[in-house]
Amino acid sequence: MKKLISLLLVLLLSMGAFLSCSEKPGDEPDAQNTAAATPDDQPAAEEADEEPEVFAANIPDGTNLDGYGFRILVYNEASSVWRDADFFAEELSGDVLNDAVYRRKLAVEDGLNVDIVTCPEDAYCYTPMYNSVQSADNAYDAGFVGLQDSFSLAEKQMLHDLNMIEDFEIHAPWWDQNCVEQLSVNRRNYQITGDISILYRKSIRVLYYNKALGANYQLESPYRMVDEKTWTVDRLIDLCSAVSEDLDGNGTYDANDRYGLVYSGDTARIAFIASGVSYATKDENDLPVLTFFTEKTVSVWDKYADLLLNPQISANCSKNPWEYEKMFLADQGLFCCMELHHVEGLREMDHDFGILPLPMFDETQDDYHVMVNFGPAAACLIPVTNTELQRTAWVLDALGAEGKNTLTPAYYESYLKGKTTRDEESRASLEIIFNSVLYDVGACFDWGDITHLPRELLDSDSRDIASAYQKKEKIVLKAMERSMKSFTETAP
């Protein structure tokens, strides 16, 4: 209850306040940067009578951008799935998230005398950004582009290194420091995530859990396992095996039956990361090293193959023309592996559901590993055609700081209230999920389609990951070598 009160206080406080354009009276110069390292941390539980921290960008007093139209490339709000959730709010409506979006935009516009102009496009925004830089039309001051596509733009020297922008506060608490650390290459950062946007958080892949089925089958609570760090792949398989049933009695498991897990092919790609396997890590020079294939990789696939390749306990809805969200809604799956944005479609579910992180591989794993969907997850970036970098830094930091004051708390609040997560177990699970987000640099580059390998194994019903990797390794290494040249043979 204290945490809910704290979140509401953050939202209410931000309704009438804009981030200060300099230090707050009485604060030390760096007081605004003393929060936890990553913006994914939920606001700390505070006593109801304590004032929540207000974040402010370090912008000189009296800064006036003279009504400049600051153009941001964003996902189209009208898109069916991956659409902007950060800027489109025409008026106050009473919806917590809508009103936070509206107030954040209005606060930044009024505080800096700037006009935030959204430029919506479809398909992760790669093509419009590429075309703009290629033609040097300077159509955008900044943009949001899917993570994998953002690396393609960086390889083509189309983006500014954020570290080289003097006024950009890259280490401020409203920027995700896991992203800064894990996605830098040769100590350069060309894209960033954080409180400026909730879209990348909505791409986090989780396990939805049908609580009613769990209760009907008298299953051990997976929430307890998560809390006790015993939530492993083996335990997931045990629970899935307990509920699978040939409901129509035709002797064949098909779209009319019940499964332990219903999922899409992307689940396998994320399962490796959740199990502690990295597509790539970085060396002492901050350069990626291909580390995907190890003995542990084989062990992880052996274990997951027992689940994902068993048609009697799991349903691969990418291989079959089935809709996993509809099957989960119809109580045909104990678990369903989907992104967080699917929660909007589950609000009308008859039975209660919960949200869990994907399991650890075994109990020796250090912690839960949560990954965004590296295709649609939107990162903020600045094209090289933009030469007004001080102004750009001020606007982006202002949006980020005010996002930490209003947008992020509202997003958490919208998930912490109502039917989505009505119990403390689910709230605690969401906190673990948001605090466990990491970024795999190899998955974001996706050299030689390395992240497609798990799905190819699923589609071919193959357990032989060693042979599949051997066929792909040379292609991956060659693509990796080519892409690294742009980061090592060009001036920062």
The strand pairing partners of 194, in sequence order, are 175
Q: What is the CA radius of gyration of the chain?
A: 23
Domains 2-202+375-416 and 205-371+441-488 share a fold: yes
3-state SS class at 427: helix
Comparing CA positions, the residue from 297, 376, 380, 299 lying closest to residue 338 is 376
- First-to-final CA distance of the chain: 49
How far is CA 460 from each of CA 308, 452, 455, rounded to the nearest angstrom? Answer: 12, 12, 9
Domain range list for the chain? 2-202+375-416, 205-371+441-488
Nearest Cα neighbor of 447 from 470, 471, 481 is 481
**Phi, psi values for residue 86, rounded to 5°:** -115, -20
What is the predicted pLDDT for the residue at 11? 38
Q: Determine which helix (DSSP H) or strand (DSSP E) holds 334, and give its type and residue range.
A: strand 333-339
On whether the CB atoms of residues 60 and 406 are closer than 8 A, the answer is no
Structure tokens at 299: 């062990």
pTM for this entry: 0.87
Please give the pLDDT value at position 265.
Answer: 86
Beta carbons of 297 and 237 less than 8 angstroms apart: no
**Residues 215, 216, 218, 219: what is their CA dihedral angle, to the nearest 10 degrees?**
-70
pLDDT of residue 492: 66
| pLDDT (0 to 100) of residue 490 | 74
pLDDT score of 417: 59
What's the CATH code, domain 205-371+441-488?
3.40.190.10
The pLDDT of residue 92: 96
Asked if 67 and 114 touch (Cβ cutoff 8 Å), the reply is yes
Query: Which CATH architecture is the domain 2-202+375-416 placed in?
Result: 3-Layer(aba) Sandwich (3.40)
Instruction: Write out the chain's pLDDT in tens, 492 residues.
Output: 333 334 333 433 443 444 333 333 334 334 344 333 444 444 444 445 577 899 999 999 999 999 999 999 999 987 767 888 899 999 999 989 999 999 999 999 999 999 999 999 987 999 999 999 999 999 999 999 999 999 999 999 999 999 999 999 999 999 999 999 999 999 999 999 999 999 999 999 999 999 999 999 999 999 999 999 999 999 999 999 999 999 999 999 999 999 999 999 889 999 999 999 999 999 999 999 999 999 999 999 999 999 999 999 999 998 776 788 999 999 999 999 999 988 888 877 888 899 999 999 999 999 999 999 999 999 999 999 999 999 999 999 999 999 999 999 999 877 665 545 656 787 888 889 999 999 999 999 999 999 999 999 999 999 999 999 999 999 999 999 999 998 988 766
